[in-house]
């Protein structure tokens, strides 16, 4: 059976009996045929081992597939949609106007029919990862490309066929294509993509070690933007698919023009990990949280919104630097804007911590802030100093003396 291995070397996989080994150059993911004994030994060494999932055209399976087709007659052409969204006016705000010139987009999909009127002459690179002819027998990638070119008509297109003419493939092909996109940054920068489009996905299992998500994160770190389809499983909550569920991936949904609103079938969050990119601020909970504290007689002396960098986050969580969860804390707190406040009041430290509740929302007393708004131990919506001395040090990290008011 075919597996993906994260963290090991090719030699380690080979020594444990792996065959048909393929190593990705940029993501560090190794693919190999392994028996169960080898899988258990690799897992025992601390490596992440997952079965490579097959691809089908049904969302009910945890595999990478194009979104479920929506039964409807087309009402708008891609150009109509671009015009309705105001791209014509937006392009004219810059000099020269923005038409995508000099930008390349990798369409990792079912292939592209290059004879299509909207696509002709825009494809600058082709690679087929399947055993089927280089065409769009599933009639999906061509439509995706038409929409991209309606938005950016002068961009170049990389045609990367990872799904066969039945809309089927494996995660291995998807990851390999993403890896090849990163390789092009060095081997052929003129056609290397600035953007990767993934109008495909799988049921979100909440696993950050999902190999497609791992590959997407590696590409983003190399400066490539990743756009992925949310899926067509709405309006139920927690239906956003993988890799759109990945924090560093831009999740693309569907909109209706009249009225201009999210389509009923478009998948919705939050993800299974509870990420709403990143937490309380983006969930619109700042006012509710501050209000609860003020109602307990606490007075605001300072308040600001900021986006913490990793240096500041490292100092803020310095006491946890040697803990295994330190990196996760830093990554989380720097993933989006936060609101920092200084409160004053009798017994303020103890009172605030009592109102906020236990660190783990699942264990927090009903009616506390974390019980009501927290998502998990890390994404628990709030942080509070545990002592007056700690508060004095933490305040200095976020506020200058002249930013703190006395009234």
Q: 51-60, 99-108, 189-198: which has the minimum mean pLDDT?
A: 51-60
Taking the alpha carbons at both ends of the chain, their separation in whole angstroms is 69
For residue 64, is pLDDT > 70? no
Checking if the pLDDT of 317 tops 90, the result is no
The more confident residue out of 90 and 406 is: 406
Q: Is 362 exposed, middle or buried (0-12, 13-18, 19+ CB in 10 A)?
A: exposed
Say how far residue 216 (Cα) sits from the centre of its chain.
8
**For 74-104, what is each residue's pLDDT tens digit?**
666 777 777 776 777 777 777 788 889 999 9
Per-residue confidence at 266, pLDDT binned at 50, 70, 90?
confident
Structure-model confidence comparison of residues 73 and 155, the more confident one: 155
CA distances from 231 to 148, 244, 245 (A): 17, 9, 10
Question: Is the CATH number 3.40.50.300 carried by domain 78-262?
Answer: no
Q: What is the dihedral of CA 262, 264, 266, 267, to 10 degrees?
A: 110
The C-alpha atoms of residue 222 and residue 239 are separated, in whole angstroms, by 28
Contact criterion met (CB below 8 Å) for 140 and 167: yes
- Which positions are catalytic? 383
Contact 120, 114 (CB under 8 A): yes
What are the pLDDT digits (tens) for 111-125?
Answer: 999 898 889 899 999
State the pairing for strand pair 19-23/104-109: unpaired
| pTM across the whole model | 0.66
Distance CA 123, CA 78 (A): 18
| Under 8 Å between Cβ of 213 and 191 | no
CATH code for the part of the protein at 286-403 = 3.30.70.141
Judge whether residue 14 has pLDDT over 90. Answer: yes
- Whether 177 contacts 170, CB under 8 Å: no
Average pLDDT, the chain: 85
- Per-residue model confidence (pLDDT) at position 75: 63
pLDDT band at 358 (very low <50, low <70, confident <90, very high): confident
How sure is the predictor about 167, in pLDDT bands with cuts at 50, 70 and 90? confident
- Asked if residue 29 lies in contact with residue 4, where contact means CB atoms within 8 angstroms, the answer is yes
For the domain covering 2-51, report its CATH number: 3.40.5
Domain range summary for the chain, segments of one domain joined by +: 2-51, 78-262, 286-403
Cα torsion through 271, 275, 281, 286, rounded to 10: 70
Residues 298-315: tens digit of each pLDDT: 999 998 888 888 888 888
Q: What is the pLDDT of residues 376-404, one digit of tens each?
A: 776 778 888 888 888 898 899 888 888 99
pLDDT at 278 over 60: no
- Tell me: pLDDT of 60 over 60: no
Q: What is the pLDDT of residues 268-277, one digit of tens each?
A: 776 665 433 2
Q: Which residue has the higher pLDDT, 180 or 297?
A: 180
Find tokens 């599933």 and name the residue.
138
Q: What residues contact 254, with CB distance under 8 A and at least 6 apart? A: 230, 232, 262, 263, 265, 266
Stretch (H or E) spanning 353: helix 348-356
């Amino acid at each position: 059976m075919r597996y993906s291995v994260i963290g090991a070397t090719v030699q380690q996989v080979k020594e444990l009996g792996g065959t048909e080994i393929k190593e990705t150059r940029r993501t560090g993911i190794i693919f190999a045929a392994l028996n169960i004994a080898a899988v258990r030994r690799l897992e025992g060494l601390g490596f992440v081992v997952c079965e490579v999932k097959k691809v089908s055209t049904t969302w009910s399976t945890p595999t990478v597939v194009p979104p479920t087709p929506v039964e409807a007659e087309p009402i708008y052409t891609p150009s109509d949609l671009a015009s309705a969204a105001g791209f014509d006016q937006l392009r004219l705000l810059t000099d020269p106007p923005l038409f995508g010139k000099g930008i390349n987009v990798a369409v990792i999909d079912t292939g592209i029919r290059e004879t299509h009127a909207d696509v002709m002459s825009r494809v600058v690179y082709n690679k087929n990862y399947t055993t089927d002819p280089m065409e769009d027998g599933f009639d999906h990638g061509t439509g995706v490309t038409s929409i991209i070119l309606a938005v950016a008509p002068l961009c170049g297109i990389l045609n990367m066929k990872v799904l066969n003419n039945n809309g089927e493939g494996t995660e291995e092909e998807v990851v390999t294509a993403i890896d090849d996109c990163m390789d092009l940054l060095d081997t052929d920068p003129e056609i290397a993509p600035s953007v990767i489009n993934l109008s495909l996905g799988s049921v979100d299992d909440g696993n950050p070690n999902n190999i497609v998500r791992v590959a997407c994160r590696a590409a983003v770190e190399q400066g490539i933007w990743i756009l992925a389809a949310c899926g067509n499983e709405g309006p139920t909550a927690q239906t956003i698919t993988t890799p759109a569920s990945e924090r560093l991936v831009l999740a693309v949904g569907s909109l209706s023009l009249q009225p201009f609103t999210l389509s009923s079938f478009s998948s919705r969050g939050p993800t299974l990990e509870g990420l709403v990119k990143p937490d309380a601020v983006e969930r619109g909970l700042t006012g509710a949280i501050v209000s609860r504290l003020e109602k307990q007689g606490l007075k605001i002396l300072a308040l600001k919104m900021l986006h913490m960098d990793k240096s500041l986050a490292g100092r803020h969580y310095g006491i946890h630097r040697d803990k295994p969860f330190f990196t996760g804390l830093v990554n989380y707190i720097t993933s989006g804007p936060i609101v920092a406040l200084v409160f004053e009041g009798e017994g303020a430290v103890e009172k605030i911590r009592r109102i906020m509740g236990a660190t783990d929302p699942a264990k927090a007393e009903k009616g506390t802030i974390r019980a009501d708004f927290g998502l998990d131990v890390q994404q628990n919506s709030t942080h509070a100093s545990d002592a007056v001395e700690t508060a004095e040090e933490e305040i200095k990290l976020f506020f200058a003396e002249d930013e703190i008011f006395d009234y």
